[in-house]
Amino acid sequence: MARGRFETGFGTLHLVGRDEEALRAARELAVGAAREAGPVGGFVPFLGARAYFKGGPLTGGARLRHALRAHVLRRALPRLNEYRNLRWLERRLFQVPAPLAAGALWRRGAARYQLLLTAEVRETRTLREFLASGDSGRGAVLSELARELARMHALGFVHRDPYPRNLLVGASGPGRRVFFLDAWHGGPAFQLRGPAYDLACFLLHAPELLAGGEARAFLARYLDERAVQGRPAGDAGRFTRAVERRRRALVRRLRRDPARLRGGELPPLDWTV
């Protein structure tokens, strides 16, 4: 992994990347994005291919909060943490968009802009779109997701955002199809929210996305795989109830802040696996 520190007209740009070439290309994109001073989320040309650029300014309370987290708690900014988490997952053979570069622009002790570049994953759609489409292969995809989440948790990594919108499904074929996105919030370090929270995120919209019995089959496969990995989740009934409690907590949070729905419908509160 390459690292670089560059002085720009907007402040000091700190970057990490897969190599020196990626650092140079990311530097140009970062300076251009900072000049526009707005959020960016989309595909851009990068080293002869396409990459997904995720970036945006840090202002107001967010700037102060992240400055304190960085200087006092030594916590990485979200885009840098996501880069590290994607590298961690990639090295352990999880399917993720390959991390190319990440960084932040600092001025006067505070981060002003952050960015992440990941390789394009072609011929994919979100798991939410896949499940809503009614296409065949649902059972195999759900089984793969249960298996990979169990392996992830057995290794001590909690994702914290595995909603169906944050998972990609590739075209059908002999290999694996599920890719994990938006891994900035969790990580391999200790998390206050554990595996049951991850499953609650995935099952939040289960009443509308999963057919009868699919949620139970998913959870059973997850629990079986945790045991195979040598890290059982404990008593199945107790774990299932923990997932349901955390799911209800997520629904209550959405009721308090409907903007989090992102245009979707509020899922029912009283739902059990």
pLDDT tens sequence across 228-245: 999 999 999 999 999 999
Residue 105 to residue 103: CA distance in whole angstroms: 7
Can you give the pLDDT at residue 37?
Answer: 67
The more confident residue out of 59 and 146 is 146
User: Which of 59-73, 97-111, 151-165, 247-261 is the most confident on average?
Assistant: 151-165
Look at residue 130 and give its three-state secondary structure: helix
Can you give the pLDDT at residue 9?
Answer: 85
Residue 64 to residue 62: CA distance in whole angstroms: 5
Residue 182 to residue 83: CA distance in whole angstroms: 10
Residue 244 to residue 250: CA distance in whole angstroms: 10
Can you give the pLDDT at residue 144?
Answer: 98
pLDDT digits (tens, 9 = 90+) for 116-137: 999 999 999 999 999 999 888 9
DSSP letters of 61-100? Answer: HHHHHHHHHHHTS-PPPHHHHHHHHHHHHHHTT---PPEE
Residue 231 to residue 224: CA distance in whole angstroms: 10
Provide the CATH topology of domain 124-261.
Transferase(Phosphotransferase); domain 1 (1.10.510)
Look at residue 232 and give its three-state secondary structure: coil
Tell me how far CA of residue 77 lies from CA of 26, 68, 98, 230, in angstroms: 17, 11, 19, 33
Q: Show the DSSP H helices in 134-213 as ranges.
A: 138-154, 195-203, 206-209
Confidence tier at 68 by pLDDT (50, 70, 90): low
Q: Where are the domains of the chain?
A: 2-119, 124-261
Q: Does 73 score more than 60 pLDDT?
A: no
Can you give the pLDDT at residue 40?
Answer: 80
pLDDT digits (tens, 9 = 90+) for 79-121: 999 999 999 999 999 999 999 999 998 888 888 889 999 999 9
Average pLDDT, the chain: 91
Question: Is the CB of residue 221 less than 8 Å from the CB of residue 245?
Answer: no
Q: Does 41 score more than 90 pLDDT?
A: no
Q: 77 φ, ψ to 5°?
A: -65, 155
